[in-house]
Structure 1
Amino acid sequence: MDSHEIALHSVLSTDERSAIAELEATSAILQLITRLTGMRFAGIAKFTETDWIVCSAYDPIHLGIECGDTLELEITLCSELRKDPKALFIPKISEDGRYSNRPVVKRYAIESYAGAPIFLPDGRLYGALCALDSRPMLFDDPCLEGTLTLFARLIGCIFFASLSPDGN
């Protein structure tokens, strides 16, 4: 550690240092996801029984989805991950009748989607790691599904470490 890090370490509590590290880690992961997918938005969302809540977002194209935003879970593309908890890729939503009429697609002009479920180490489904774009996207990298799933697993571990003992 350099002298700046030592000084910072001494004035910040363990919880504060943990929160900063979590923020930096998730921000870096979201930027990597946009590079890997070629998409211009990446986010992490938590699921409740009825809601999709944005925990973190990387939005250089200003889609308008921000940290803290809440949507009805069933109108989101990520809700599909609750039904079938594996990575989902939709290269051209406008040509896929299962997804093209969802209000969230129209509201944010989403044309392509990539998402993976985030599981906590204890097996609970926490939410989703997703990438979105207003352009159609080719998902031709055979390693993309595995890579997205690994990042979702890492995020689950990061979030699990910061959860309170009562699981919230």
Structure 2
Amino acid sequence: MIPSITSPHALLSADERAAIAEIEATTSILQLVTRLTGMRFAGIAKFADLEWVVCSAYDTAEMGIHVNDVLDLETTLCSEFCVDPQALFIPQISQNGRFAARPVVKQFAIESYAGAPIFLPDGRLFGALCALDSRAMLFDDPNLPETLSLFARLIGCIFFANLTAAEQ
């Protein structure tokens, strides 16, 4: 089954899209994530019910994942955060039976994954910060899970602040 890409307009409110557009730090954070992981794609995705919506992307590998793309959440690697909200690192997906068969892995030729859940300060799971690459990666920095989680927390705080300001 190939994941479907549908229109995000019903899934992201105008306030959410505006808040994402206003976050100048997002691109810098995504660039830092690619530098720290050695991977060529980094993105922020929102979980909307059963959908995975790309809010922001930095893609030097041209993997084909773009802002506003929508996938079925259950087909993504980020869906793991709905069950276990801990940073996840998969250095060689093709050698991992649990993840290798996921449709999104085949669709975008993903071989390595690093991700952390994004929580809003009120405790709600917003989505995920993830890095992807078509190459296998070594994650040998023992501080990488904590660093990625700190970036995810920062994104959650910035996003929450912008949403709160937009609601007032």
Deviation at 1:23, TM superposition (A): 3.2
Residues 120, 160 of structure 1: 8 Å contact kept:
yes
Output the CA distance in 1 between the equivalents of 2:53 and 2:21.
Answer: 21
Q: How does 1:29-108 map to 2 (within 5 A)?
A: 29-108=29-108
Residues 19, 159 of structure 2: 8 Å contact kept:
no
Structure-2 change in CA distance of 1:100 and 1:21 (3 Å) = closer
- Deviation by residue 1:28-58 (Cα, 9 ceiling, x = unmatched): 0000000000000000000012100000000
Q: Secondary structure at the match of 2:67?
A: coil
Code of the residue aligned with 1:42 in structure 2: it is A
Relative to the length of structure 2, the TM-score reads 0.85
Matched with 2:155 is 155
Q: Secondary structure at the match of 2:24?
A: helix
Residues 91, 138 of structure 1: 8 Å contact kept:
yes
Instruction: Please tell me the root mean square deviation across aligned C-alpha atoms, in Å.
Output: 2.0
Structure-2 change in CA distance of 1:20 and 1:138 (3 Å) = closer
Code of the residue aligned with 1:149 in structure 2: it is S
Matched with 2:137 is 137
Output the CA distance in 2 between the equivalents of 1:20 and 1:78.
Answer: 19
Larger Rg: 1
Identity of aligned residues (%): 72
Output the CA distance in 2 between the equivalents of 1:160 and 1:67.
Answer: 19
Relative to the length of structure 1, the TM-score reads 0.85
Kindly tell me the number of residue pairs found equivalent between the two proteins.
151
Deviation at 1:163, TM superposition (A): 1.4
Structure-2 change in CA distance of 1:150 and 1:22 (3 Å) = farther
